[in-house]
Amino acid sequence: MSGHRRHALYHPYFHVRDERWLKIAALYWPRIVRLVPDGYPTRDSDTVRALADEVVLRRSPESSVDAVAPVFLDLVNRHADQLRPSLGLRHPNAPGTADGPSFAWVHASQIAPAVRQALHDAGLALAPDNPHAAQSVPSQSGYQPQQHTQNSVWVAMSPRLAAVYMSVLAEDFATANRLQPTTDQDHAYAVVNHWTADSIAATVLDRAAEPPPATEEDLAERLGFLALSLVVPANLDAVPAERVLAIRRRHGAEFLAFGQAVDQTVEALSTDLAGIRDQAVLEEYLHDVVEARFVQPLDELRRTLRRLTGEAVTTSINVKTELPAGLTLAGGAWLSGHPVLAGSAAAAIGLMGVRRGLRQQRESARQASPAASFLLHTASDLPPRRLLGRTLARLGRVAGLV
């Protein structure tokens, strides 16, 4: 079994908007890359900062900026007249006017200079420092940070055109670096294979088009998130990101095994699932797959661990009855020549053996079903624990039952 899993590419923003999504994603993806210009000062949340370096990584899109330039130059050359009436910024109802939608903003470093100039000349974008662009307050749905103070480094354009541009940029960077695009935004355009000037024009003009078929990677992410949704608590927002990191660190082998199990499941079923066009039908099939491949093994593991614990408790009680009341096995009480103490010591050794045997059996059960074990650990480790819960957990570890 390979120890490698693909990493994710977050799009379309610099900043992750949905922190609950991010915590779940961190339990599925080994790494999550986001495209941020070199030197750009992001204003990250506490959750993102906690996951930085180990999970959420920054990468510059510089290599892909020039790579996607030809398709957008082709778009302007062949489709500018079609796009200008609805997307042009000089149209009476254009973004930025009182009656039109607001601007969306793309960082200038993410658009090749030739493309910026072509879009500006075609009336499809306002270049940095344009006085009309400076009059607009950036939209919360755009591709800029939440506060905007430097118009000199931003290019204004229609939100639809900006969204597709970021999708094309993400596709190129993901393909070049074997990353899987992912997003927390329902409105983000899907990253599809082989964007062309024609497909971009059709998309931004809202022409009816059949959605692209789901790839194996798309199906895997959806399946993985469905499986994790079984065990993440409803109050995940209140769970600190450090606890998510602790799960990944403490149960690293199981974390890897869970992801591999999802990949292998989708690989075996992708021929059947990838051809389903109706998303509701596909979702129903995915729920069936989760039930068979994850819910049932998880329930079986829980039953096995409960049975082992019950047997160990019964044996422990029987062994403890052999110990005289109040006896402590301190150093001075370990006298092999004393028949009572010698028998008690033997019983104590037997009790330690019961606990050690239970730990070994529990570990064997977990190793036999590592993906289910990861879900089980996630379920037990994520909820915020009160003092009583933490105390009981420590007592369980001392007793060898956890």
Q: Where are the domains of the chain?
A: 1-210, 213-402
pLDDT at position 118 over 90: yes
Range name among 81-95, 189-203, 255-269, 344-358 with the lowest pLDDT average: 344-358
SS3 of residue 258 by DSSP: helix
Distance CA 3, CA 259 (A): 10
SS3 of residue 279 by DSSP: helix
pLDDT bracket for residue 280 (50, 70, 90): confident
Q: State pLDDT tens for residues 286-319.
A: 999 999 999 999 898 888 877 766 554 444 444 4
pLDDT, greater one: 144 or 19? 19
**CA nearest neighbour of 258 among 296, 223, 219, 286:** 223
The mean of the pLDDT values for the chain is 77
pLDDT bracket for residue 60 (50, 70, 90): very high
The answer to whether the CB of 216 falls within 8 A of the CB of 267 is yes
pLDDT at position 333 over 80: no
- Residue carrying the six token digits 């541009």: 165
Residue 208 pLDDT: 53
- Residue carrying the six token digits 């993806």: 29
pLDDT bracket for residue 2 (50, 70, 90): low
Distance CA 251, CA 21 (A): 21
The answer to whether the CB of 40 falls within 8 A of the CB of 16 is no
Q: Return the beta strands (E) in 202-317 as ranges.
A: none
Residue 193 pLDDT: 65
**CA nearest neighbour of 231 among 307, 299, 281, 292:** 299
Q: Per-residue pLDDT averaged across 165-171, rounded?
A: 94
12: cis peptide before it, omega within 30°?
A: yes
Range name among 7-11, 52-56, 155-159, 355-359 with the lowest pLDDT average: 355-359
pLDDT at position 94 over 90: no
Strand 179-182 relative to strand 104-107, pairing = unpaired
pTM of the model: 0.77
Classify the C-alpha dihedral 120-124-127-129 as positive or negative.
Answer: positive
Could you give the angle at the alpha carbon of 259 between the alpha carbons of 31 and 302, nearest 5°? 130
pLDDT bracket for residue 152 (50, 70, 90): low
R_g (Cα) of the chain, nearest Å = 29
Range name among 11-20, 202-211, 357-366 with the lowest pLDDT average: 357-366
pLDDT bracket for residue 212 (50, 70, 90): low
Q: Per-residue pLDDT averaged across 214-231, rounded?
A: 88
pLDDT at position 343 over 70: no
pLDDT bracket for residue 328 (50, 70, 90): very low
pLDDT bracket for residue 218 (50, 70, 90): confident
